Chain A
């Protein structure tokens, strides 16, 4: 059977930035190519994100759509062990949480060129 899809980490399709307010962390997911926004909508679901962030998220996970810039915005509540002012976590700012999002696996077409290959080719 011909393989028509490949699994690759979200890092090959989108970039991400994270920050915090109180005990919540906000993590954006932004398509490098706005044409891939549909893939994000379909595959970067709350369930998929919970599979990655679930073990540290004590509250709920919310997803917001920002189609004009091809992005999703996630809010994980109660994820910072009390927030910067109270947390015992070693990384207290949530600023390192975006790299966790980028591990999320995506099913992409077999001929899809991921970001790292595209960057190498452009160089």
Chain B
């Protein structure tokens, strides 16, 4: 059955690509982007577990994105006046609390009749160990790691956002959902797409996948001078997807820096994708090999994604955060003649000292920044003696007290180390030891996950 035509044209603006992305794009898109929706992605894989750990250390940290209210305050009033709807996954561990806070902010700002919705569900921290599931990575039962589970949450689909919008929400605040669903949700609502139509679900997910990382579609994370130049990157404009019944057009904020080209779209299409023919999402499987692009104007690309869908799987992916001890890192700095030799001798000295203080580490790593700090063992051997070398040491330990031993060996190098040993951030107070929360994943049967939508 052919999809009914709506005659609508909907413009979605990518207001943020991750939790600590810039604030300006939201205001710029609201003022000059002629958009119907502002969509904020605030999550990476580690976001929920990191938030859970912060909450364990101090209850002064909110259970939602601490940037939620700072991001909403400057735009809430004008968005309501202009009818721009806001979709954000900044609800993190407690979207209901987040939605109540935004509703309270609206009252404080004198905004009348702002309807805020929360989409919750999918948090499985207390139940994941009892579901009889195994980790994908190791095949081992999650129940065996029960003592170390600090967080577990499934990736929800777009249905909750659609229900929230049908209920009249101006602002929709979700917990963990698949990032691209921040865009699929409003599109499915506006164009009345059935969740049984996998081609339409996939079309929405392709659009969302391209848009969810903010300016990575419009010139960010792209510039390679002399090979891929990007004009005025400092003022890069965030992307806009303009979707009608038959067309998908990708552009960016007008009069801004950056570039939207077939090349930027291709890079983002494959970004963090494994098998492009089988990208498994909550509401469908997407086949990215069926997607193509055509430049139709300056900073204007048409995307073709009408036949990219396959039926969904019976499970939803969940991430499980596990406490795995502590880690810390320190650096010592060298330059000039013999810099590399003095760095190497310092590694030798530290290894002796770690033995002497009986350091109990589960993992120790030495890097030579400037030589192999980034591509690690795949770095080519240096052709020339480097002018500068930074020796970095990183360790993982089961106990915090063992990790604390590292700085107690590094700081004394100021007087006990090699000639001309430079130091870094010596006046930074406190400890650089941090807890490790490892992420593993599993597949949860859909029927075990229940999502709810509430209004405030």
Query: What residue in chain A is nearest B289 (Cβ atoms)?
Result: A66
A91 vs B374: C-alpha distance when bound (angstroms):
5
Residue in contact with B395 in the complex, picked from A65, A69, A88, A120, CB distance below 8 Å: A88
Q: Tell whether, in the assembled complex, residue A88 and residue B378 are in contact, meaning their CB atoms are under 8 Å apart.
A: no
B168 within 8 A of A: no
Smallest CB separation, A8 vs chain B (Å): 12
Q: Tell whether, in the assembled complex, residue A85 and residue B227 are in contact, meaning their CB atoms are under 8 Å apart.
A: no
Q: Mark B368-412, 1 if CB is under 8 A from A, else 0.
A: 010001111110100000000000101110000000000000000
Smallest CB separation, A34 vs chain B (Å): 9
Residue in contact with A119 in the complex, picked from B226, B276, B293, B437, CB distance below 8 Å: B226
Answer whether A22 and B441 are a contact pair too, CB < 8 Å, given A53-B378, A68-B289: yes
Smallest CB separation, A50 vs chain B (Å): 10
Answer whether A15 and B228 are a contact pair too, CB < 8 Å, given A66-B288, A68-B292: yes
Report B353-377 residues with CB < 8 Å from chain A CB: 363, 365, 367, 369, 373-377
Report B262-294 residues with CB < 8 Å from chain A CB: 262-263, 266-277, 288-293
A95 vs B216: C-alpha distance when bound (angstroms):
12
Q: Tell whether, in the assembled complex, residue A75 and residue B274 are in contact, meaning their CB atoms are under 8 Å apart.
A: yes
A96 vs B369: C-alpha distance when bound (angstroms):
14
Smallest CB separation, B399 vs chain A (Å): 17
Q: Tell whether, in the assembled complex, residue B378 and residue A19 are in contact, meaning their CB atoms are under 8 Å apart.
A: no
A64 vs B49: C-alpha distance when bound (angstroms):
31
B438 within 8 A of A: yes
Q: Tell whether, in the assembled complex, residue B377 and residue A23 are in contact, meaning their CB atoms are under 8 Å apart.
A: no
B144 within 8 A of A: no
Query: What residue in chain B is nearest A100 (Cβ atoms)?
Result: B375
A11 vs B271: C-alpha distance when bound (angstroms):
18
Report B220-254 residues with CB < 8 Å from chain A CB: 221-222, 224, 226-229
Chain B residues near A83: list those with CB within 8 A: 438-439
Chain A residues near B263: list those with CB within 8 A: 15, 30, 32
Chain A residues near B49: list those with CB within 8 A: 85
Q: Tell whether, in the assembled complex, residue A90 and residue B374 are in contact, meaning their CB atoms are under 8 Å apart.
A: yes
Answer whether A19 and B271 are a contact pair too, CB < 8 Å, given A66-B276, A68-B289, A84-B45: yes
Interface residues on B, range: 35 or more
Query: What residue in chain A is nearest B436 (Cβ atoms)?
Result: A86
Q: Tell whether, in the assembled complex, residue B266 and residue A52 are in contact, meaning their CB atoms are under 8 Å apart.
A: no
Answer whether A55 and B227 are a contact pair too, CB < 8 Å, given A26-B270, A67-B289: no
Residue in contact with B227 in the complex, picked from A62, A71, A115, CB distance below 8 Å: A115
Chain A residues near B441: list those with CB within 8 A: 22
Answer whether A90 and B438 are a contact pair too, CB < 8 Å, given A23-B137, A32-B263, A69-B293: no
Chain B residues near A89: list those with CB within 8 A: 365, 367, 376
Q: Mark A30-52, 1 if CB is under 8 A from B, else 0.
A: 10100000000000000000001
Answer whether A73 and B276 are a contact pair too, CB < 8 Å, given A21-B45, A56-B376: yes
Query: What residue in chain B is nearest A52 (Cβ atoms)?
Result: B378
Q: Tell whether, in the assembled complex, residue B45 and residue A15 are in contact, meaning their CB atoms are under 8 Å apart.
A: no
B327 within 8 A of A: yes
B306 within 8 A of A: no
Q: Tell whether, in the assembled complex, residue A26 and residue B267 are in contact, meaning their CB atoms are under 8 Å apart.
A: no
A20 vs B226: C-alpha distance when bound (angstroms):
26
Q: Mark A73-116, 1 if CB is under 8 A from B, else 0.
A: 10100000111111011110001110110010000000000011
Chain B residues near A85: list those with CB within 8 A: 45-46, 49, 321, 436-439
Chain A residues near B222: list those with CB within 8 A: 17
Q: Tell whether, in the assembled complex, residue B266 and residue A30 are in contact, meaning their CB atoms are under 8 Å apart.
A: yes
Chain B residues near A68: list those with CB within 8 A: 289-292
A121 vs B436: C-alpha distance when bound (angstroms):
50
B324 within 8 A of A: yes
Smallest CB separation, A118 vs chain B (Å): 9
- In the A-B complex, the 10 residue pairs with the smallest Cβ-Cβ separation, listed nearest first, are A19-B272, A55-B377, A28-B270, A88-B394, A17-B267, A85-B439, A88-B365, A86-B438, A90-B373, A91-B374
B-to-A contact residues, CB < 8 Å:
44-46, 49, 137, 221-222, 224, 226-229, 262-263, 266-277, 288-293, 321, 324, 327, 329, 363, 365, 367, 369, 373-378, 380, 392, 394-396, 436-441
